[in-house]
Every structure is written in C-alpha cells, then in structure tokens.
Amino acid sequence: MTGVGKLLILLGGILVLVGVLLTFFDKIPYLGKLPGDIHVKKDNFEFYFPLATSILLSLLLTGLFWLINYFGKKD
C-alpha cells in the first residue's frame, strides 16, 4: 500500500506544479492554436475543438505515465 501512497503524493505534487504554472502564466504559447485545431466562426455562432492540442497532450501524458510506471517498478 505504500506504493499507492507514494503515487498519490507524486500526482498531488504534479497537480500543484501545474496549478502554480497556470496561475503565473495565463496562456501557454501555441497551446490551443495548433494546426489541426478546428475553429468555425459564423455570424452568430462559434465552435472550437482543439483536436491537435488534445492529441499532443494525450501523447505527453501517456509518455509521462509510462515513465512513472517504468521507473516505479520494483523487481
């Protein structure tokens, strides 16, 4: 059970770090304006779906969790 506790502490630390970064840096450059993000603007309607940004964040988080799992294993 100590492994679960360590993982929760690590995830909590990551959340705190992300929260601090978002507080001090309002906008992350290029995030949300990548080629492949869908943005439709008409007279009285606006639709925005960050497809490329979602894929990029998914790949980054997958890599991060893979690294945590890889280095966190005990033989």
Q: Which two tokens stand for residue 20?
A: 């601090």
Most confident of 24-28, 29-33, 40-44, 70-74: 40-44
42 in the same domain as 12: no
pLDDT at residue number 51: 93
> Is residue 31 within 8 Å of residue 22, measured between CB atoms?
no
Predicted structure pTM score = 0.60
> Is residue 34 within 8 Å of residue 53, measured between CB atoms?
yes
38 in the same domain as 6: no
Does residue 31 carry a pLDDT above 80?
no
Residue 10 banded pLDDT, cuts 50, 70, 90: confident
Residue span of the structural domain in which 49 resides: 31-75
> b/e for 28-62, b at 16 or more Cβ within 10 A?
eeeeeeeeeeeeeeeeeeeeeebeebeeeeeeeee
Residue 6, CB half-sphere, CA atoms under 13 Å: how many? 8
Provide the mean pLDDT of the chain.
85
36 in the same domain as 21: no
**The total number of structural domains that make up the chain:** 2
41 in the same domain as 15: no
